[in-house]
Chains A and B, each alone.
Chain A
Amino acid sequence: DAKTTQPPSMDCAEGRAANLPCNHSTISGNEYVYWYRQIHSQGPQYIIHGLKNNETNEMASLIITEDRKSSTLILPHATLRDTAVYYCIVRANTGNQFYFGTGTSLTVIP
């Protein structure tokens, strides 16, 4: 079962940073935090993941608090194509089940 909570929806102005929060207060020491997004009627797209340290790639940055009980996905310059449902997932090593929560529906406004 999903171990994360996210706000159901958020808006962001085009060109501004989108900061999507996620609470995972019961995360275990060996569990990673993964972020995916799903654009309507498509399969989820991988964005980023991390264990303890902050991570950055070409799509986004992931900030994990020191106690690891929450994290924030940052899209530095949101575009209209970033409108999607964003899912935060915690999961231990390879082979374990991968459960989706309810996600955050992000709308980027022109």
Chain B
Amino acid sequence: GEDVEQSLFLSVREGDSSVINCTYTDSSSTYLYWYKQEPGAGLQLLTYIFSNMDMKQDQRLTVLLNKKDKHLSLRIADTQTGDSAIYFCAEIPTGFQKLVFGTGTRLL
């Protein structure tokens, strides 16, 4: 299967850390991605992680990958007003060309 699941909403206070979670069912994906969509705009690639890694840090962003549980998370440190957006996790399953998206999490 190619289902990617996310919770729909997450609310945090400015300055706190945000953790957005994602679960997927196809463990053969080579890369897993996080996209950000600001209001009225298209999707912007935030970061990605290769499947043989379990963590990747990029400034305020930390991506954690638990392949055993098929769980991906995005942590945003020191959350700011400008981080308000919808965050999508996505994968390209091995052997496929198409990107499979989660439903998106709206960060408030």
State yes or no: do A and B come from one complex: no
